Amino acid sequence: MITTRFAPSPTGRLHVGNIRTALHNWMLARQGGGRFILRIDDTDAERSREDYVDAIRADLTWLGLSWDAEERQSARLDRYEAAFAALKAAGRIYPCYESAQELEVKRKIALGRGLPPIYDRAALKLTDAERAAKEAEGTPSHWRFLLDHAEPIQWDDGIRGPQKFDAAQLSDPVIRRADGSWLYMMPSAVDDIDMGVTQVLRGEDHVSNTAVQIQIFTALYAAGFAAGESAAKTLPAFAHEALLVGREGKLSKRLGSLGCDAFRERGIEPEAIIALLARLGTSLPVEPIADRAALVASFDLATFGRAPAKFDEEDLERLNAGIVHQLPFDAVAARLPDGMDEAGWHAIRPNLAHIGEAADWWQLVTGPIVQPDFSAEDKAFLTEAGRLLVWGDSPWGALTTVLKEATGRKGKGLFLPLRQALTGMDHGPDMGELLPLIGEEEARARLGQAAA
């Protein structure tokens, strides 16, 4: 069974980049009839907040991205201890004693010499006596995973194609801090093993993390960590998609304004966000597709490009209008102004960019309206309109037909004064649908007022 996961850290609100990652993993799982796991990566106790966890759940629910299981890393600390012990026994992790300042100095020196800023493995050169002395002095130690420089790292990426890394060009990653807390690398691999994750789809900024984690996977399997359902000892399939950029480049400085709260405040429909992000960065056309099943059916990693995906808020607004124009009355009834029925929604819907604008357009029906000043000629025309108005199944069509014959007017000269008198505007919903909603009594009153 295909199993994917979305693993946000509850240290802030979801932004458009997170949403895109969650959506693509959800689509990958749904397309294959598999499982989509929400994994809360909350091992950073200082920065993780429960209100952010609640917000992540609420945002995914609003977007319609339902998950089949939820896991919390904070509830799985015993599994990380077991993995740590297995790797330690296998000689694949080692203690290091450098401070953050010392590591930064080493990094700068390496860069100054034109060398890659990777850890020099100085801690491995310490003798047992030197390590014992540091521990006796109370020097705090953090722990690194020992990469195997002789083991080739390669995989066939679902988007980027064949990938190959030289482990000697990578730093041994820190997997545990001096205070005992966990960093991302090892717990993520442990979770993917335990939860049976088969597909890891994430941003291309994680490519080097994948190279490291492949060795962590194989080291855990070799150490006998995986058992039971995990005994197959297979790696997930990895795919890394291009990151989002904006018109001016990186989105990083503006991501806070591109979250679900901001979208909701602007009246953006979740289906518009889904329609945009589902195909952004692919060769498939970005269209206002409200049918989520159709989007899922067309999802294909082979269509993803390597170029950065451009997120344009104008595109989102355009898609939002297209989605609104498709929404049925039942889907929006609770959000419409009092008194607006299905006929009213059908009449006004083509003029909306956001559902929140419905109240303004509905006022054309309920009033009051502000009519323009009409010329004497138009007043006479509107007087004739009031006289010839006969109410029936199609009052607008009947009125314009008889007025055309009686006055000789046509085109703009025929239709515009009538629209202005009946709605106070020179554009708007189809009058054939709108006039029956205004009603005969009110329509006669408005024509009379305009002609006075």
Count of CA atoms in the C-beta half-sphere (13 A) of 156: 2
**What residues have CB less than 8 Å from 165, skipping those under 6 apart?**
153, 154, 208, 211
438 neighbors 422 (Cβ within 8 angstroms): yes
275 neighbors 289 (Cβ within 8 angstroms): yes
Per DSSP, helices labelled H in 32-95 are 50-63, 77-89
3-state secondary structure of 249: strand
Q: Is 253 annotated as a binding residue?
A: yes
**What residues have CB less than 8 Å from 432, skipping those under 6 apart?**
394, 396, 397
* DSSP for 27-41, written as a single string: HHHHHTT-EEEEEE-
- CB atoms inside a 10 Å sphere around CB 257: 14
Q: Which strands, in side-by-side order, build the sheet including 35-40?
A: 3-6, 35-40, 69-72
Count of CA atoms in the C-beta half-sphere (13 A) of 395: 21
**DSSP 8-state code for residue 202:** E
Do strands 249-250 and 199-203 pair parallel, antiparallel, or not at all (unpaired)?
unpaired
288 neighbors 221 (Cβ within 8 angstroms): no
Count of CA atoms in the C-beta half-sphere (13 A) of 92: 23
**What residues have CB less than 8 Å from 423, skipping those under 6 apart?**
364, 369, 431, 434
Cα angle value 290/291/296 (rounded, 5°) = 120
275 neighbors 286 (Cβ within 8 angstroms): yes
Cα 35 to Cα 40, 195, 231, 379, 449: the distances in Å are: 16, 10, 19, 67, 64
User: Which run of H or of E encompasses 24?
Assistant: helix 16-31
Amino acid identity at 254: R
Q: What is the 3-state secondary structure (H, E, C) of 94-111?
A: EEECCCHHHHHHHHHHHH
280 neighbors 245 (Cβ within 8 angstroms): no
Q: Binding site: which residues?
A: 253
Q: Binding site for ATP: which residues?
A: 253
